[in-house]
Chains A and B, each alone.
Chain A
């Protein structure tokens, strides 16, 4: 049983982060997964991105210049964040330069560009790999789930989305490849099962039962003696599919590539689960003396709650649990998606999109403010929950980076500038929190590059970004 060590070389780190930042960062980052003898366990940094469509009511979102501390007066939309405002960084002036200029399908593109920094193409599916997937490629292998994609709203099941732009664009912020959006899970129960129940399944000796159920966890350490039947079967199918791929061309090849990629991921996933027992033992060993709150309890019901806040709370709890248990370190969650939904729960039975084209109508603006505030309340719940959980010397939140925002600044005018953006959590001590930076020195992709580096995944260039946003410390 080999447990791979996730150690990023010092040189990579220096190259990626810039020399000025490197030394203090290296001390705080938890990127040496299992420390060598004598080292002290450092929890990894986790990343989560939460998306809301249609921008915000700008008059009530941005604080007074330079004021974001505990005692400062907060704009009403951000007021729910007061208990955790010291863990939030409010970033003004961000935008995606590639979205400049007019074009069709603002809503498809506001979503698709957010984590990709790429303006989607019409009449086809072409985007960029999203930053969470850049991270997942690099560090996803160390957890049972490389990444987790969640959403509260069902994608459209009929009709057209934005003219000439597939609904795939406005339904997804996480893109595995330029042509492959990651589907999001909407049912909390399904998410929970995927995270945990699969390991509790009754183990069948040789694994012809459900592959994931058959995985060794606890009781049957016997799995160590070679691949399960499912794995061997997948190997054979994979070889077969490769030979098929050799005979086809064009887009057909692309489809088979998706298949091959998916099958390999599935094999990895089965291995990861089968390895888990051993990994957990190893991790227990390396975590000696490391203090952590007990795992939170989440009990998702069989059906999806109708109330937005209940649904959101479950999903946020599941993400908290996923981070706490190191089931994954990367997650994305779409609170809703473009063209929106209605929010009778906070007094807005009207459709979000309809209200976002307020034409400065005070009634509609007030509805937008209510929806925005309501969303922030959910975020605040999440942050507070993570802050309440101990992890090492600090809290779980201290080891997280939660990116919250929209791909549109002003929904009324389809304006893609000054994107409402919050970055919360200290990222293992790599982000200086409790500030409002009115106009940052860079664009949104620069922010994504800065975040990715803090996750131990520095990239030289990403989307329309060229550097790591300097304003995070």
Chain B
């Protein structure tokens, strides 16, 4: 299989065994070794894997195990199992191959030169290479696996942004949702984002609140029971009376709402119109008929007749009658007038007037009591104007309105489709549209206005699973159970990665025509999205968590010792981190700038804190740094503060942070029952500096391995106090701060800036670390052994393009795990 074939395969979207390196194609990194190993005959991928497995098993026994026995087993096998690693468990090739993740850790330790410890016998370069090559070869033994991201619930930030972009209202309704749990460093991890009844309740209330603000809140709407309203009956005023709530019988309750007019009279009320428009007056009424015409009502507004209604329903079962009128702003008097009271004359059977019409049927009319025509009004409702004079947000939602040529149902169907396509972030299917239309019909059938019915329908969309889960439904997959995501799914993955929100119209458009599956279009879209202000979401949500900037608002430095730590300062520290991240991302800068660079962002408050002059005012601006003890994230006030204790610095926490976030070598947790810095009754530590006490602690070999590096880094940063200010003396002890130290490999330093220079030599490790973190964030899942190839490729492509952060982002978006998904195994 050749490289040409590879490219072709990619374009055909029928990638098979080589999807591991999908990303490599996009970034044009050499695939020589892999392509080479698979060249020649063309057996099935499964058969190839079997062959590789057999050779890896034998390679373990012949090449790897002897090296381990020589250098490692002393501490990690049999009696001693330091760091919980027992190599004695892997006697055979089969056993070794079943423990893939163990070998990943071994490879990391070897790569960083941390194991074996310096004082132990060291393997030769060839021996190291034999092991790392073997470990890398293990990646080829499994079927390709892009991972399977569980349906992801929108987290708080995503919910806010999605509602904003869907409906146009930036109301941040999720502000009082319970916080999302963090897993693997981020709060967007699918398996950790659980859904609780409390959250469902909040969702419903949030949907209500948002829609309340959007849907025509300038619409007049009121309804009254007729019995509550004043009336003039036979020339006499009748004030009406308030409704009683405690009537148990339903029919009696209904009757209590009615007014019956049997004599000339009117029921009236007043209301005010705020905006000009068409108003609908609905009257629920019934009548007792008498004479030869039905009861009639006139509807008058300010004395003008706007409608005349025939009441044909029975008084016991009134029906709704409607008329409408255009109204201008101002107070209005609405009156409903009974036009034709009538009482039959007393029966004078039989009638003798020959001119009178004959009784219709043959049956002679029986003498009855004289009948009186009366009208019973139950309820009067006024609504208006319907969606004409409304906000832009309202118009944006109501893409269709019922009119002469469009029924309410058809207008609702248009709105349903418009909202569902966007809320569910792909073309809505029939089932989804049916659901929304059923909800519309539900409200419509109960006499709600069009706006209210649409509101309920949109509310249903907003609490549907397709709205707040990002659903990627299983579909036909290849023999390994892997399938490529479709363009709509890719669009959503991109938009939630870069914007923490739904795709915009342009992204939807390239999803619709399928061009988004083209890597070139993908790249240009990603670049467009990075340039969009919405990409600030990546800064706040990825950057804010990766650098733990968010924590700056939660930490509690001792107020007495550090009264300077005000809300303003915290905000400035947060902004500094965010703006530096933003600049590196959008100015095409290198990720190396995170380690050390010559600029930062400051305002007066923070500049003063750093001891930098010439910055005035509260606005943050870019400042060129002359003192390179600052510059980069490690020496930012935010990072230095969140890795301190409330009353003092914590070299261990700082060192650990650098190991985890910069160098990608997180230390294992401390062994159980460690003794703390000071032992009971031990007075020998009196007067010792923190550093001296910790050095003593490190004499314990159980602690030394990890602490030797961690503490060296932490002490290298001791020039910064617990809230990130520069210092030469420790304020507690008065002693001069000693920031000299040494990293493995005899790398000496004596200041923070020199320490950073040493980290710069590890830029590839850093790039890989950052790539893995960002991949976790982009996918919303933990990374595993099966992702290692993709991570290597992403890091390599980034390095090749001058370590640019935007390249890193593009490459992640084009990586195999980002573009593919597999079925449940």
Contact = CB atoms under 8 A, between A and B. Distances in A.
Contact of A358 (B550, B646, B676): B676
Interface stretch (A153-161, A290-298, A461-469): A153-161
B647 A255 contact: no
Interface string B533-564: 00000000000111011110010101111000
A158 B201 contact: no
A168 B464 CA distance: 25
Contacts of B125: none
Contacts of A358: 676
A209 B221 CA distance: 13
Contacts of A221: 245-246
Nearest to B148: A250
Given A168-B181, A252-B151, A125 B439 contact: no
Contacts of A413: 673
Contact of B194 (A168, A248, A412): A168
B314 interface: no
A162 B669 CA distance: 9
B209 A149 contact: no
A229 B456 CA distance: 8
A167 B182 contact: yes
B150 A183 contact: no
Interface in A223-280: 225, 229-230, 232-234, 236-237, 240-241, 243-244, 247-252, 254-256, 258-259, 261-263, 265-266, 269
Nearest to A264: B197
Contacts of B679: 359-360
User: Most chain-B CB neighbours within 10 Å: which of A176, A194, A252?
Assistant: A252
Contact of B196 (A176, A240, A344, A350): A176
A248 B201 contact: no
Contacts of B233: none
B432 interface: yes
Nearest to A252: B151
A102 to B, nearest CB: 4
B176 interface: yes
Interface stretch (A40-48, A64-72, A184-192, A419-427): A184-192
A185 B680 CA distance: 41
B198 A182 contact: yes
A124 B465 CA distance: 23
B439 A187 contact: no
Contacts of A250: 148, 150, 824
B561 A263 contact: no
Contacts of A249: 474, 823-824
A432 interface: no
Interface residues of B, number: 90
Contact of B185 (A154, A159, A234): A159
A331 B752 CA distance: 50
A342 interface: yes
A10 interface: no
A209 B435 CA distance: 20
A248 B192 contact: no
A181 interface: yes
Nearest to B657: A159
Given A247-B473, A349-B647, A210 B560 contact: no
Given A182-B198, A259-B195, A342 B680 contact: no
B782 interface: yes
A344 B557 CA distance: 10
A205 interface: yes
Interface in A324-369: 341-342, 344, 349-351, 354, 357-361
A148 B442 CA distance: 33
B645 interface: yes
Given A157-B179, A163-B669, A349-B561, A263 B551 contact: no
A154 B156 CA distance: 14
A220 interface: yes
Contacts of A218: 245
A360 B824 CA distance: 51
Nearest to B195: A258
B504 to A, nearest CB: 26
B452 interface: yes
A157 B182 contact: yes
B8 to A, nearest CB: 33
A254 to B, nearest CB: 8
A357 B676 contact: yes
B459 interface: yes
Contact of A248 (B473, B548, B559, B660): B473
B208 interface: yes
Contact of A220 (B245, B431, B439, B474): B245
Contact of A158 (B435, B438, B551): B551
Given A208-B455, A210-B209, A359-B675, A265 B197 contact: yes
Interface in A289-320: none
Interface of chain B, main secondary structure: loop
A104 B545 CA distance: 23
B611 interface: no
B223 A205 contact: yes
A180 interface: yes
B559 A158 contact: no
B568 interface: no
A181 B194 contact: yes
Interface in A134-183: 146, 149, 154-163, 166-168, 171, 176, 179-183
B474 A251 contact: no
B558 A350 contact: yes
Contact of A171 (B181, B190, B782): B181
Nearest to A123: B782
B28 interface: no
Given A124-B191, A360-B679, A181 B200 contact: no
A354 B678 CA distance: 13
B178 interface: yes
A179 B194 contact: yes
A212 interface: yes
A465 to B, nearest CB: 25
A97 to B, nearest CB: 18
B225 to A, nearest CB: 11
B150 A255 contact: yes
Nearest to A220: B245
A208 B440 CA distance: 12
Interface string B448-471: 100010011001100111100101
A185 B181 CA distance: 13
B150 A252 contact: yes
B672 interface: yes
A265 B200 contact: yes
A166 B469 contact: no
Nearest to B541: A158
Interface string A55-86: 00000000000000000000000000000000
A208 B443 contact: yes
B183 A262 contact: no
Nearest to B559: A344
User: Most chain-B CB neighbours within 10 Å: which of A102, A162, A167?
Assistant: A167
A102 B81 CA distance: 14
A176 B178 CA distance: 15
A219 B447 CA distance: 22
Contact of A359 (B194, B548, B677): B677
Contacts of B660: 160
A236 B205 CA distance: 18
Given A262-B195, A361-B680, 6 more contacts: A232-B442, A233-B442, A237-B460, A247-B473, A252-B151, A255-B150
7 contacts: A157-B551, A158-B545, A166-B184, A185-B198, A211-B205, A244-B465, A251-B150
Of all A-B residue pairs in the complex, the 9 with the closest CB atoms, nearest first, are: A359-B676, A183-B178, A265-B197, A349-B558, A262-B200, A250-B824, A360-B680, A166-B183, A158-B545
Interface of A: 102, 104-105, 123-125, 146, 149, 154-163, 166-168, 171, 176, 179-187, 190, 194, 205-206, 208-213, 218-222, 225, 229-230, 232-234, 236-237, 240-241, 243-244, 247-252, 254-256, 258-259, 261-263, 265-266, 269, 341-342, 344, 349-351, 354, 357-361, 412-414
